[in-house]
Amino acid sequence: MVPEFQHRTVLLDEAVSALVIEGARADGIYVDGTFGRGGHSRKILESLSERGRLIAFDKDPQAIATASTIADPRFEIVHDSFATMAQALQERGIKQVDGVLLDLGISSPQVDDASRGFSFRADGPLDMRMDTTRGISAAEWLASADEQTIGKVVRDYGEERFAVQIAKAIVAGRTIEPITGTRQLAKIVANAVKTREKGKDPATRTFQAIRIFINQELEELEIVLDQAFRQLGQQGRLVVISFHSLEDRIVKQFLASKAKLPQPDRRLPIRAVDLPQPELKLISRVKPSDAEVADNPRARSAIMRVGERLGASGPQAGGQA
């Protein structure tokens, strides 16, 4: 039996208050793109009226099992990637929503459960799939990928400067025996990394990189940002919590591109009233308080960005990028 691992939702109150504007849109339709263990979803449901509705997504079968315990007619869980959001909403006859929340990365239960293979803190099978019912595991990928591909993944997704050395060590190591365990991989990486960042295990960046690649996290993030924005109605909110620089960079650039004022052709005679308007207003950039970080150290790298969909005659873009 898989033990129950606790998850402490990061920026819980801040995210939900930014998503469901108090008193204004309690009757609306909302999307929680990353159900996890349901912290945000439950809080959203508390903020909705009896006419409100929440559609949540998650790839993890254990998250789906947790979601099935929520007996609320306003709530529905979809066992799939949030990158399928547009299709899922269309199948349910939903043309637009009032808000989308994305809490990126992996949850504490996934990290703490050694059988999932996300962490080297305890030995376990090298799996790393968020959806254990689909795709190939990290062990299967490492067994077949060539040295150049492994190096590129570790460099691009882990921002690891020793990516070439790590890839060589992995390929050499698998000729001796299959790489199937988390600590086995961590030991190989540690022997290949010549200098260590203070307070960080030398395998941290490699594990991050392989996990992101196996689950196609950045590619799916780019897909869902565009889909979520298109699904938002006027004044609908997009709230995204990211935990590392690669994710946050994608989110920041996407929001900035939608908040940017289109530049008309200066050679054309256009009245001020006819100038094109931005599609989105930047609302806020929020980080966890010192108290939250002290209570939950895993919150320390979180950044929440909030944008609001504008109509044709919306105000000028403002806020923080």
Tokens of 43: 């809080």
* 40 marked ligand binding residue: yes
* Alpha carbon distance 279, 276 (integer Å): 9
Tell me whether residue 165 is exposed, middle or buried, using C-beta atoms within 10 angstroms of its C-beta: 0 to 12, 13 to 18, 19 or more. Answer: middle
| CB distance 118 to 111 below 8 Å | yes
* Alpha carbon distance 258, 203 (integer Å): 37
* Alpha carbon distance 245, 249 (integer Å): 6
What lies within 8 Å, CB to CB, of 276 at 6+ separation is: 261, 262, 264
Residue whose structure tokens are 């790590």: 166
* 248 marked ligand binding residue: no
CA atoms within 13 A on the CB side of 86: 11
What lies within 8 Å, CB to CB, of 23 at 6+ separation is: none
| CB distance 31 to 7 below 8 Å | no
CA atoms within 13 A on the CB side of 119: 12
Distance, first Cα to last Cα, the chain? 45
Tokens of 73: 């007619």
Nearest to 141 by CA among 215, 201, 61, 222: 215
* 13 marked ligand binding residue: no
| CB distance 192 to 162 below 8 Å | yes
* 201 marked ligand binding residue: no
* 58 marked ligand binding residue: yes
Annotated binding-site positions: 38-40, 58, 82, 103, 110
- Annotated binding residues for S-adenosyl-L-methionine: 38-40, 58, 82, 103, 110
